[in-house]
Amino acid sequence: MTAMKKVAIFMPAALSALLLWAAFPPLGETANVAFALVPLLVVARLCSPKRSALLWFVGGFLFWFGTLSWMPAIIKNNGPWPLVVLGWAGLAAACAGYFALYGWMTARVWRRWRRWGLLAEPILWAGCEWMRATLFTGFAWNFLGTAVGQVPSLATPARLGGVYLVSALVVLLNGVFATLACRVIAGMRRGAGPAETANCGKWRRQLIRSAETAVPLAVILLVFWLSQPGNPRLSTPNSQLLRVALVQRNAPCIFSAGRQRENPYEAYGQLLEVAAVARPDLVVWGESGMSEFGRVDGERARLAAAHFSEMLGGAALLAGGDWVEDGRYHNAAALYSGTNAVQLYAKQHLVPFGEYIPFDKWIPALQKLSPIGVSLWPGEAKVFRLTIHGRDAPESRSVALAPIICYEDTDPTLSRAAARLGAQAIVLITNDSWFSLSNEAVQHASQAVLRAIETGLPVIRVGNSGVTGVIDGTGRARWLSDGDGKTLVDAPGTMVETVQVPASPALTPYSRVGDWPLLALFAIALPFVFVIPRKEIP
C-alpha cells in the first residue's frame, strides 16, 4: 500500500473531526452537526468493525484534542506543563475511546442486521454519550446536542428527552445523509448510470429505499412538533420577576504566579456601584467569591455580606467559597439574607484530580497530590429559599433557587434533581480563571443552555472571569457584554437583569422521567450488536 493510500484511509476521520470541532465554540458553526459524522458513519457501514473502531478513535482523538485545546492555559497558573500535556492527551484519548466503541458497535450492527443499523445508530450514540457522562465520575462536556443549543429553537427536544435526545436526532439526520452517500458509492462501484440506477430493483426495494430517508425525517419533525413550548403540556405557568445583579470580578486564579492582592471591599464596591441604583433583590458573585473573607459560614463572611447588602438596600447575596463541616472540606455556595442568616450548599459532582484524587479517602497520602492541597467531599442537592420583602409588591414573596457550582452545569441529572426539588431558577457560579485567555469559558457557558431547556427553568450564571448572564427557560441567553456588544470574558463587569421566574413551575417530561427511556432503548439495541441472526438479512 502506498503512502498516499495510507493517508487517504484516515481522511474520513480527519474530515469528521474538523467539521465537528468547528461546530462548537469558538467557531460555533452549528450547521456542521447536520453532516459532521457522515464520513465516519459511511466508514461504519462499509468497513469491518475493527477498522471502523480504529477510524472512529482517530477521528474522536483529533476532535477532542482540538476541542480541549484550552487545557494548556492552566500552565500559566503554575500547572506543570508535562502533567498538563499528559492530562490533555489522556483525556482526549479516553473520550475518543467512546467514539471507537460506537464505531465498533455500529459496524457490527450494519454487518449483521443491515438496515436495522439506521435505527440503532442514534440509540447507540446516545448510550455512549450517557456512559461518557456517567462512568468513573464521567466527563459530560460537549455533547453533540450541546452544539445545537447555540440555536435554542433547534434544541427544544431536550424538554422531552434531555440533551441525549437532541444528540440522537442529530445522528439520525447524519444517518440519512450517510445513506445517500452509500448509495452514490454503490452506484459508482457498479458503474450504473443515472437511468439504470433509477430503474433497478423491484417496487418493494424502492419502497424500502424511500422509507430509509423519509421515515427518519418524519420522526425528527414529529419530535420537534411535540417538544414546542406552545404544547399545553409543556407550557409554563405565570411568572414573577426577580431583579438580579451579576458581578464578574475577574479575580486571578489563586495559583497564578505573581498574583497581585487587591482590597476585596474596594473591588466589589466599585462593581456594585452601578447596581445600587437598580436596587436588586439578589446579588450573585462567582465561585470562590467569598474566599478572601474566610469560610462562607464564618463571621468575617457574614459581616462582608451584610456590608454589601446594606450598600444595595437589603439585597441578598449568593457567593461561593470554602466550607468545613465535621472536619470535611467542601466547595460551597452560600446565600446570605435577612438578619445575618446563611444557607449553605456543598458541591455534589467533584472533579477528579482537581478537587480530589481518586481513592484518597482510603489512602490519605494521595491527598498531597491534590492541586488545592485538600481532598473535598461531595454534598447533596439543595434548594435555597430567598425571601423578598415587598418593594414593588406590598407583601413579601419567596423564590426557590437551586445552586450548582462550576462543572456541575454539564451534568443533566443535577439540574433535573433541582427541578424535582421545586426550584424556580437555577443559579450557577463558576471560576474559570484557571483557563483565562482561552476559549474554555465560552465553551463552558454553552453547556448551561441545555440545562435551561431541559428543565424549562431560567439559569442565572456568574463566572468570575466570564461568561456571565441569564438564560431563560427556552435557552435564549443574555450575556454580559462590552461596549461593542461582544461577550465580556477575562475582564470585570456588572449587569443587572430582571429574570422571569415561574411561580409554579411544571416539570418538563425530561424532569419527570429522566434518562430511563434512553437506557431502555440502549439495552434493547445492545443485543443487536452481539447476537448473530440465524439467517443473513437480504
Q: Which of 134-138, 301-305, 344-348, 534-538 comes out lowest in average pLDDT?
A: 534-538
Please tell me the distance from the alpha carbon of residue 469 to that of residue 466, in angstroms, as a whole number: 9
Q: Is the model's pLDDT at 197 over the cut of 60? A: no
Give me the pLDDT at residue 394, please: 56
Are residues 226 and 308 located together in one domain of the fold? Answer: no
Are residues 49 and 141 located together in one domain of the fold? Answer: yes
**Mean of the pLDDT values across residues 276-287?**
94
Give me the pLDDT at residue 196, please: 45
Q: Half-sphere exposure of 173 toward its Cβ, with a 13 Å CA cutoff?
A: 17
Give me the pLDDT at residue 9, please: 84
Quick: pLDDT tens for 154-169: 999 999 999 999 999 9
Are residues 170 and 253 located together in one domain of the fold? Answer: no
Quick: pLDDT tens for 371-398: 777 889 999 999 999 998 765 555 678 9
Give me the pLDDT at residue 113, please: 80
**Mean of the pLDDT values across residues 18-40?**
96
Residue at 266 is within a domain: yes
Give me the pLDDT at residue 474, please: 94
Residue 239, H or E segment: strand 239-248
Give me the pLDDT at residue 363, please: 82
Residue at 65 is within a domain: yes
- Quote the cell numbers at residue 139: 466527563
Q: Which domain holds residue 153?
A: 3-233+515-530
Closest by CA to 75, choosing from 93, 87, 61, is 87
Beta strand residue intervals within 296-437, DSSP E = 316-325, 328-337, 341-346, 384-388, 397-405, 425-430
Q: Which of 95-99, 199-203, 359-363, 493-497 comes out lowest in average pLDDT?
A: 199-203
Mean pLDDT of the chain: 89
Give me the pLDDT at residue 114, please: 74
Residue at 8 is within a domain: yes
Residue at 379 is within a domain: yes
Are residues 149 and 295 located together in one domain of the fold? Answer: no
Q: Is the model's pLDDT at 472 over the cut of 80? A: yes
Please tell me the distance from the alpha carbon of residue 339 to that of residue 316, in angstroms, as a whole number: 10
Give CA angle at 529 (525, 534), nearest 5°: 105
Are residues 370 and 309 located together in one domain of the fold? Answer: yes
Are residues 344 and 202 located together in one domain of the fold? Answer: no
Q: Is the model's pLDDT at 478 over the cut of 70? A: yes
Do the strands 469-471 and 459-463 form a parallel or antiparallel pair, or are they unpaired?
antiparallel
Residue at 486 is within a domain: yes
Number of domains in the chain: 2
Give me the pLDDT at residue 390, please: 63
Are residues 249 and 134 located together in one domain of the fold? Answer: no
Residue at 537 is within a domain: no
Are residues 412 and 345 located together in one domain of the fold? Answer: yes
Burial 154-186 (b: 16+ CB within 10 A, else e): bbbbbbbbbbbbbbbbbbbbbbbbbbebbeeee
**What distances in angstroms separate CA 468 from CA 277, 419, 453, 456, one per listed residue?**
20, 22, 18, 19
Please tell me the distance from the alpha carbon of residue 120 to that of residue 265, in angstroms, as a whole number: 57
pLDDT interval class at 194 (50, 70, 90): very low
Are residues 96 and 242 located together in one domain of the fold? Answer: no
Please tell me the distance from the alpha carbon of residue 446 to that of residue 409, in angstroms, as a whole number: 10
Are residues 219 and 254 located together in one domain of the fold? Answer: no
Phi, psi of 82, deg, nearest 5: -65, -40
Residue at 415 is within a domain: yes
Q: Is the model's pLDDT at 348 over the cut of 50? A: yes
Are residues 60 and 44 located together in one domain of the fold? Answer: yes
Q: Which of 77-91, 232-246, 475-489 comes out lowest in average pLDDT?
A: 232-246
Are residues 137 and 242 located together in one domain of the fold? Answer: no
Give me the pLDDT at residue 177, please: 95
Quick: pLDDT tens for 231-278: 555 555 578 899 999 999 998 876 554 455 789 999 999 999 989 889
The residue assigned the cell 465537528 is: 20
**Mean of the pLDDT values across residues 419-432?**
96
Quick: pLDDT tens for 522-537: 999 998 888 766 554 4
Query: Is the distance from CB of 301 to CB of 321 less than 8 angstroms?
Result: yes
- Domain CATH code at residue 497: 3.60.110.10
Q: Is the model's pLDDT at 217 over the cut of 90? A: yes
Residue at 244 is within a domain: yes
Quick: pLDDT tens for 491-531: 999 999 999 999 889 999 999 999 999 999 999 999 888 87
Query: Is the distance from CB of 462 to CB of 444 less than 8 angstroms?
Result: no
